[in-house]
Structure 1
């Protein structure tokens, strides 16, 4: 028995250096006035986010699928699944089979964030995702996978209003 979706998700799509991250920085505090906000960033190249030799790095290289670090100020988790090998859905089952591993990884992440109680998720990148989208810069509306719900040239308050009016996320197919 599945619950009704409760999280509102918006994708920011635009070319590199068009202002997507700056727009995220403007949207997050405004949305936070209405509920918990998470962000997801598509990164197109591999990076090492953990310090080689650190205990968390040693845990992961020993074979832990997920490592959680808790500091006095931050909690972070590092999982071994990415776009090439999407993580399983939180209930243990994979999401519907898809040839698009990037969308499969995003869908699984959105489900996990919703289950953690986030009201909003702002996604930077993932241009082909079938999500409501705010166009940034000169991105062609035909090049995005979701319905265009705003443009970066709209006022920030208008964009927040458009996000507040979105229907909660339905499963990505």
Structure 2
């Protein structure tokens, strides 16, 4: 399993790119999982559902399963968010994990930059940026793919992805 990140300001097009990148990689025979950082309170459950009621009653974990999928929800109950390395360790093995967000973590990242956003480039201040996907040429010499060239971004992702143990030696 290898890991690559997509990092950029809100509105740069990370999610739009990721949704196109997954099938492009799958067409190359690459199995993909994703890990998304949420900066806000979120819930994958709905009030009134049994699983929601289990959590509301105080369960630390609730696993919901069917013949189509299963989901494990873990309540932190005010505790600290787990580090990226611990979250990746929870995933079933795949060829490539694409991380959206977690831009301050040390894993390799492709910076997603859109000029219309009028935001500064993350590189070189942000750690781990190894390439860019942008709609304008960057002010640096890192490898670049056009933001709308999904095949070129896929090639960058595969080129720069690394095993988690290379980033977090204690995990491997």
What RMSD in Å do the two structures reach over aligned CA positions? 2.3
Return the structure number with greater relative CO, CA threshold 8 A, min gap 6: 1
Q: Is structure 2 residue 22 aligned with structure 1 residue 28?
A: yes
1:49: which partner in 2? 44
1:168: which partner in 2? 163
TM-score normalized with structure 1 length: 0.74
- Structure with greater proportional strand content: 2
Q: Is structure 2 residue 94 aligned with structure 1 residue 118?
A: yes
1:130: which partner in 2? 106
Q: Is structure 2 residue 4 aligned with structure 1 residue 10?
A: yes
Q: CA deviation at 1:72?
A: 4.7
CA distance in 2, matches of 1:167, 1:81: 29
Structure of higher CA gyration radius: 2
1:39 aligned residue (12, 34, 42): 34
Q: Is structure 2 residue 125 aligned with structure 1 residue 143?
A: yes
CA distance in 2, matches of 1:172, 1:110: 11
CA distance in 2, matches of 1:39, 1:146: 18
TM-score normalized with structure 2 length: 0.74
Unaligned runs of 5+ in 1: 1-6, 88-103
